[in-house]
Amino acid sequence: MEPFINLEENIGKVVGRRTKTPDAFQTGMGLQSLAVHLHKSFKHRWAPKGVYRFKTHEEADEWMWKMLSQSQIPKS
């Protein structure tokens, strides 16, 4: 079965523009440098290693914010 293409139809209006696709390698390296910067800014792990299971997303978010806030308190 051949696809239906109307060659006689004139396109009256074009909406938007095509942009150049971003370079995947450059984008990945930017993400990697952000990860390194975040790792250095925390200076240590913000949560203990392990597998965590939560019943809801809200419970997981609450735990994550608790761990992040505790990691910013200087240990003396």
pLDDT digits (tens, 9 = 90+) for 3-61: 677 778 787 887 888 788 888 999 999 999 988 887 787 766 667 778 999 999 999 99
Say if 67 falls within a structural domain. Answer: yes
Say if 8 falls within a structural domain. Answer: no
How far the first Cα of the chain sits from its last, in Å, is 75
In the chain, the number of structural domains is 1
Phi/psi zone of residue 23: left (φ > 0), alpha (ψ -120 to 50 degrees), beta? beta
Say if 24 falls within a structural domain. Answer: no
- pTM for the model stands at 0.41
Domain interval for residue 54: 44-76
Say if 76 falls within a structural domain. Answer: yes
Say if 52 falls within a structural domain. Answer: yes
Say if 63 falls within a structural domain. Answer: yes
Say if 74 falls within a structural domain. Answer: yes
Q: How far is CA 74 from the centre of its chain?
A: 28
pLDDT of residue 75: 65
Say if 32 falls within a structural domain. Answer: no
